[in-house]
Structure 1
Amino acid sequence: MADQISIDKQETGSGGRYVAVVSGHEAEMAFSRASPHLIIIDHTAVPDALRGQGVGQALALHAVEDARAGGWKIIPLCPFMRAQSLRHEEWADVVQQR
């Protein structure tokens, strides 16, 4: 299911969010930009209707791929992103654990 999830990035001056809309429900992963080379993921919200469908994981993977492409690192303050990053050792190149 996660491969079919379309994710958009919405940026503001100091941060932004990754948004996935699935079956009319919106899930998001919010971030703030600590520096040009560092973002802090501080919030992930997946509505109950989408739980268990891989939407949160798709958002996390998208953030990791975006960081790799953009040349920045991620600090996972959000408990969900932190748990995902600990499960995926292959993300260690862009995820900075505290």
Structure 2
Amino acid sequence: MPDPAPGPAIVDNAAASRFEVRVEGEVAVLEYVRDGQRAVYHTTRVPKALEGRGIAGQLAKHALDDARARGLRVVAECSFVAGYVSRHPEYADLVTEDDAPT
């Protein structure tokens, strides 16, 4: 069976501290703060027009894979990211309960 078609490209807009994906003229984002050895994921937003397509999950997976590649620990302040990790235990080793920076 062939690999599934790749989803839309997710980019790291480091200047805005967020991962972005553009679909049909709309932009979904996962906002973060990188703090030393941590990535604090605090907000995931998907426009109403794009809900139900798995885009938030794609953003969460991308962000978690990025943290792993950078050797960062993850603070999952965003409830969606926290829920994603609970459904995908292969990412549990990345998560720390440390308080986010103020």
1:70 matched to 2:70? The reply is: yes
Which structure carries more strand by proportion? Answer: 1
When the two structures are aligned, how many residues end up with a matched partner?
A: 95
Q: CA RMSD in A?
A: 1.8
Which residue pairs with 1:9 in the alignment? 12
**Cα distance change, pair 3–54 in 1 and its aligned pair in 2 (3 A):** farther
Taking the TM superposition and a 5 Å limit, the aligned residue runs for 1:4-43 are 4-12=7-15, 16-35=17-36, 37-43=37-43
Structure 1 runs (4+) greater than 4 angstroms displaced: none
- Name structure 2 gaps, 5 residues minimum: none
Q: Specify the structure having the higher radius of gyration (Cα).
A: 2
Q: Percent identity?
A: 33
Residues 47-86 of structure 1: CA deviation (Å, up to 9, x unaligned): 0111110100000000011111111111100111111111
Cα displacement (A) at 1:97: 4.3
TM-score by length of 1: 0.87
- Unmatched tracts of structure 1, length 5 or more: none
TM-score by length of 2: 0.84
